[in-house]
Amino acid sequence: MAGVAISTPAPAPVADQRAPAPVVPLWIVGAVFWLAVLAVVLARAAGVAESETLATFGVIFTSIVVEALPFILLGAVAAAAIAVWVPASAFVRLNRLLAPVQVPAAAAAGFAMPVCECGSVPVARRLILRGLHPSAGVAFMLAAPILNPIVLASTWVAYGAAGRALEMTAVRAALGLLVAVLAGWLIGRRGEPLLRARQSDADELGHDHGEGGSSGRGFVEHVASDFVFMGRFVVLGAAVAALLQTVVPQEALSTVAGAPVIGALALMGLAMLLSLCSEADAFVAVSFTAFPLGSQLAFLVLGPVVDAKLAVLYGATFRRRFVLRVLAVAAPVALVGALVFDALW
Amino acid sequence: MSFDTRTLRAIALLAWGSLFAWLWLSGESVRYLGPRTQWVVPVGAVGLMLAAAGYLRATRGRPWPRPSALEALGLTGLAIPILAAATLAHAQLGSLAASNKFSSRGIDPSALARLASRDASRIGFLQLNAAGRDDGLTRELGLSAGKSVRLTGFVSSVPTGRGPFELSRFYITCCVADAVPVGVHVDRGTVRHLRLGRDDWLDVTGVLTRGHREWIVRAVRIQHVDAPSDPYLSYTS
């Protein structure tokens, strides 16, 4: 892949600006609030929590959001720090690096980012907005959830008892790095705009944090803006993941466990369906002992880069078909990696 | 007070900060998160409260537009999990989730059991379930027919006849999305005239008997109990 060319990106690769959206009358906001309160009271009185389906959906849904939002906050804090305190010249210097070096270097930086996939999206978005090449931003975003030290440590612990800690951790990291670098090279190589436009970006450009305000003020505004923006899509993604977990029986997959290719594909599908945090997925994967280790590896490589929750988050952050392009790169790498792993070990 | 985008964003941050604070102070966070990720609750509570306060302070005195339809919709969406938590307080995963998720019927959780067997002083669902298919683990744990055990769990399946029912617990790591149900069959033994329903919580005392690739608990005493405040187990508990 050393021959892949990466063209110089536009400084701020954001899509077209939108027209101002219509405002919502205040009485509607108030009515929504009181209707919500009424709905909670009525639902509790009606014993909604006694419904197996609703309780299962609600608990999984709330749990995913409760776990993810603090990571979104941490990601928003990191992204805001980048926006406010890292000078644009730093990214200009990074962009002078040779293309074959830039993307792997950005992916390798994932080792230093101890957040899961929810936190890496706002950070990558902010890096690209600040002028980092989209290829490098995508590579960093996809690498961080697999390569970060917490995830590698949890993989080591989960497979340690089975005596496969070194192989599983090393190959997971290697495949994660490969997915990130390939996706970075292939998706952003032309330097075309990848990010969706956001009204808040235009608002931020209109605010001068250097003169009219302080850097601290800009930092807080960025944190709030990113958290509120990303948070709503985490909620939507969590709802999709919880719905799938509630209505789709996973036992059906056990019938294909013995078949290497189908088994790996089944666990890859399950990884997308479950939307687990990459810091915990190894403990779930290790329980799939009816499946070959390679299939478990495919689960661990694909899940942190494409799942139901992330699909919504990517859809809100990047332009159309981004998630399909990531899937088109990550799924073959995970599948081939799984088969090679089973053949070698 | 003007009711603009700034105010709504601050309300969203404060609302979430309050939910995390409530989860933290009430201990209800164990219904959603495992031991590995409990730390996110105080981080969320303090971080979001600080963010809300800082945001209000940093943006005061500046005119802000009313929320757009999209912004209002997004902020409403952010409130939905808070409403769900308020509506489903004390709810937990049960037999429906156990039947949907991969369970001990479809997989062999011996690898997980080995994680747990580092603390083999306590015999739980995971150890019993895995040892049924693993003679080495059975020896390591000192299991044998007639050994007394006591388990507290929920009924995940009830046979139509008088055969053994399944008593289960969920094991979680980060959050209940990664929960793995692990069950043990319980023979009613001398406990007759017991009315059982799915999701009933039971405290079972009995002795082990050997089944086909499993350890079965023959009950000596079965008591209905309230669900514990922390309904989930972890691989280190």
pLDDT tens-digit profile of B11-70?
Answer: 899 999 999 999 999 999 999 988 878 988 999 999 999 999 999 988 887 777 777 777
B151 to chain A, closest Cα gap in Å:
22
What distance in Å separates the CA atoms of residue B197 and residue A55, rounded to the nearest whole number? 17
What distance in Å separates the CA atoms of residue A94 and residue A323, rounded to the nearest whole number? 26
Q: How many residue contacts between A and B have a Cβ separation below 8 Å? A: 258
Please indicate whether, in this complex, the C-beta atoms of A287 and B68 are within 8 angstroms of each other: no
Choose the weakest-confidence range: A85-99, A161-175, B170-184: A85-99
A146-155, B10-19, B137-146: which is most confident: B10-19
Across the range A321-331, mean pLDDT stands at 94
**Closest residue by Cα to residue A182 from A68, A327, A63, A38:** A327
- Residue-number span of the structural domain to which A70 is assigned: 54-344
- What band does B219 get if pLDDT is binned at 50, 70 and 90? very high
pLDDT at A15: 42
pLDDT at B115: 57
What distance in Å separates the CA atoms of residue B17 and residue B54, rounded to the nearest whole number? 13
A200: tokens are 């808040």
- Among A17, A24, A50, the strongest candidate for a mutation testing the B interface, having the largest count of B CBs within 10 A, is A24
Is A23 within the bounds of a domain? Answer: no
Task: Reply yes or no on whether the pLDDT at A43 is more than 50.
Answer: yes
What distance in Å separates the CA atoms of residue A218 and residue A208, rounded to the nearest whole number? 8
Task: Reply yes or no on whether the pLDDT at A249 is more than 90.
Answer: no
A256: tokens are 């294909």
- Among B66, B70, B73, B87, the strongest candidate for a mutation testing the A interface, having the largest count of A CBs within 10 A, is B87
What distance in Å separates the CA atoms of residue B234 and residue B175, rounded to the nearest whole number? 10
Percentage above 90 pLDDT, chain A: 21
Please indicate whether, in this complex, the C-beta atoms of A67 and B174 are within 8 angstroms of each other: yes
Is A28 within the bounds of a domain? Answer: no
Tokens 């293309």, residue located:
A99
pLDDT at A210: 41
Choose the weakest-confidence range: A209-223, B51-65, B168-182, B207-221: A209-223
| Sequence-separated (6 or more) residues with CB below 8 Å from residue B160 | none
For residue B237, CA distances in Å to B36, B104, B118, B139, B173 come to 12, 18, 10, 21, 11
Split into its structural domains, chain A has a count of 1
Whether B1 and chain A come into contact, CB under 8 Å, resolves to no
Across the range B69-88, mean pLDDT stands at 85
pLDDT at B138: 86
Please indicate whether, in this complex, the C-beta atoms of A43 and B111 are within 8 angstroms of each other: no
Q: Could you tell me which residue, A91 or B125, shows the higher pLDDT?
A: B125
Choose the weakest-confidence range: A25-39, A120-134, A230-244, B110-124: B110-124
pLDDT at A175: 96
| Sequence-separated (6 or more) residues with CB below 8 Å from residue B42 | B20, B24
Q: Please name the residues between 218 and 237 in chain A that touch chain B, using a CB distance below 8 Å.
A: 220-221, 223-225, 227-229, 231-232, 235-236
Indicate the average pLDDT of chain B: 84
Task: Reply yes or no on whether the pLDDT at B76 is more than 60.
Answer: yes
What distance in Å separates the CA atoms of residue B191 and residue B38, rounded to the nearest whole number? 39
pLDDT at A149: 84
Give the residue on A whose Cα is nearest the Cα of B85.
A62
Whether B199 and chain A come into contact, CB under 8 Å, resolves to yes
Q: Could you tell me which residue, B40 or A164, shows the higher pLDDT?
A: B40
For residue A119, CA distances in Å to A70, A186, B65 come to 9, 23, 28
pLDDT at A200: 59
SS (H, E, C) chain A: CCCCCCCCCCCCCECCCCCCCCECCHHHHHHHHHHHHHHHHHHHHCCHHHCHHHHHHHHHHHHHHHHHHHHHHHHHHHHHHHHHHCCHHHHHHHHCCCHHHHHHHHHHHHHHCCCCHHHHHHHHHHHHHCCCCHHHHHHHHHHHHHHCHHHHHHHHHHHHCCCCHHHHHHHHHHHHHHHHHHHHHHHHCCCCCCECCCHHHHHHHHCCCCCCCCHHHHHHHHHHHHHHHHHHHHHHHHHHHHHHHHHCCCHHHHHHCCCHHHHHHHHHHHHHHHCCCCCCHHHHHCCCCCCCHHHHHHHHHHCCCCCHHHHHHHHHHECCCHHHHHHHHHHHHHHHHHHHHHHHC
- Among A17, A18, A54, A284, the strongest candidate for a mutation testing the B interface, having the largest count of B CBs within 10 A, is A284
Give the residue on A whose Cα is nearest the Cα of B182.
A287
Is A14 within the bounds of a domain? Answer: no
A140-144, A206-210, A224-228: which is most confident: A140-144
Please indicate whether, in this complex, the C-beta atoms of A225 and B86 are within 8 angstroms of each other: no
Domain boundaries, chain B: 5-87, 95-224
A5 to chain B, closest Cα gap in Å:
39
Q: Which CATH architecture has domain B95-224?
A: Beta Barrel (2.40)
Task: Reply yes or no on whether the pLDDT at B135 is more than 90.
Answer: no
Task: Reply yes or no on whether the pLDDT at A216 is more than 70.
Answer: yes
Tens digits of residue pLDDT in B181-190: 889 999 988 8
Identify all chain B residues contacting A290, using CB atoms and an 8 Å cutoff. Answer: 106-108
What distance in Å separates the CA atoms of residue B143 and residue B135, rounded to the nearest whole number? 10
Identify all chain A residues contacting B96, using CB atoms and an 8 Å cutoff. Answer: 52-53, 56, 246
pLDDT at B154: 95
| Cβ atoms of A95 and A102 closer than 8 Å | yes
Nearest CB among A58, A249, A275 relative to B100 is that of: A249
pLDDT at A4: 44
Nearest CB among B12, B70, B91 relative to A58 is that of: B91
Under DSSP, is residue B34 helix (H, G, I), strand (E, B) or coil?
coil
Indicate the average pLDDT of chain A: 80
Give the residue on A whose Cα is nearest the Cα of B53.
A220
Please indicate whether, in this complex, the C-beta atoms of B88 and A238 are within 8 angstroms of each other: no
Choose the weakest-confidence range: A221-225, A324-328, B16-20, B132-136: B132-136
Whether A90 and chain B come into contact, CB under 8 Å, resolves to no
Is A1 within the bounds of a domain? Answer: no
Across the range A42-55, mean pLDDT stands at 83
Please indicate whether, in this complex, the C-beta atoms of B88 and A59 are within 8 angstroms of each other: yes
What distance in Å separates the CA atoms of residue A147 and residue B199, rounded to the nearest whole number? 40
pLDDT at B42: 96
Across the range B117-130, mean pLDDT stands at 74
Whether B126 and chain A come into contact, CB under 8 Å, resolves to no
Task: Reply yes or no on whether the pLDDT at B232 is more than 80.
Answer: yes
- Helix B5-26 vs helix A52-85: angle between axes, to the nearest 10 degrees? 120
Is A317 within the bounds of a domain? Answer: yes
Element (H, E) at B208: strand B201-211
What distance in Å separates the CA atoms of residue A147 and residue A153, rounded to the nearest whole number? 10
Please indicate whether, in this complex, the C-beta atoms of B43 and A289 are within 8 angstroms of each other: no
